[in-house]
Chains A and B, each alone.
Chain A
Amino acid sequence: DAGVIQSPRHEVTEMGQEVTLRCKPISGHDYLFWYRQTMMRGLELLIYFNNNVPIDDSGMPEDRFSAKMPNASFSTLKIQPSEPRDSAVYFCASSRSTGGVGNEQFFGPGTRLTVL
């Protein structure tokens, strides 16, 4: 399996622009997570889905952030409009529910976002 795939790997944009990050989870995984990593706040959960349905979006910073999962093999995280404080590495992770809670989450390589 190719693992969790994220694109782009690097994104540089200007303040006010729309940014879309993409994620393809591992086939057969029914949980998908979006995390953000910054020096100041560390790794924090933004949102997660189960069977394409958002379960907990309490970590989404504000209305400028939105996430969708139109099908089991694709998810997007969109920031509109972007701000310099959104600069971070955004990770997507997936896991499967069989075997109960606490299953391993597999992480993608991340998207490094820089907002100028």
Chain B
Amino acid sequence: AQSVTQPDIHITVSEGASLELRCNYSYGATPYLFWYVQSPGQGLQLLLKYFSGDTLVQGIKGFEAEFKRSQSSFNLRKPSVHWSDAAEYFCALDTGRRALTFGSGTRLQVQP
């Protein structure tokens, strides 16, 4: 069965600092991979997705993610974090059945 692991439950960074959120997946083939963001009391919003091709994908709000098959990873990055980026971030995969399997999430706190 497929699974997604987000090793970091909570991360705190200073505003303006760079950010990397880790995501590892377990699946026998290459899945479709997603990063979603959830602000407090809100639903989930898609940041970016990877299907195939270029392993570095660009998303909204200045985020990017890199797919590394050898490491079964899909880490999310942002070069300079803004206070408004404080939220919870979820990595997810779709094996082709269209339903998503989510990681446990990483809560990002941004210090001024």
Q: Which residues of A pack against B, CB within 8 Å?
A: 4, 31, 33, 42-45, 48, 50, 56, 91, 93, 95, 97, 101-105, 107-110
Contact = CB atoms under 8 A, between A and B. Distances in A.
A101 B43 contact: no
A43 B32 CA distance: 18
Contact of A43 (B42, B94, B102): B102
A101 B104 contact: no
Q: For chain B, give the interface size range.
A: 20 to 34
B102 A33 contact: no
Nearest to B50: A102
Given A42-B105, A43-B90, A105 B43 contact: no
Contacts of B27: none
Given A104-B49, A109-B42, A45 B96 contact: no
B51 interface: yes
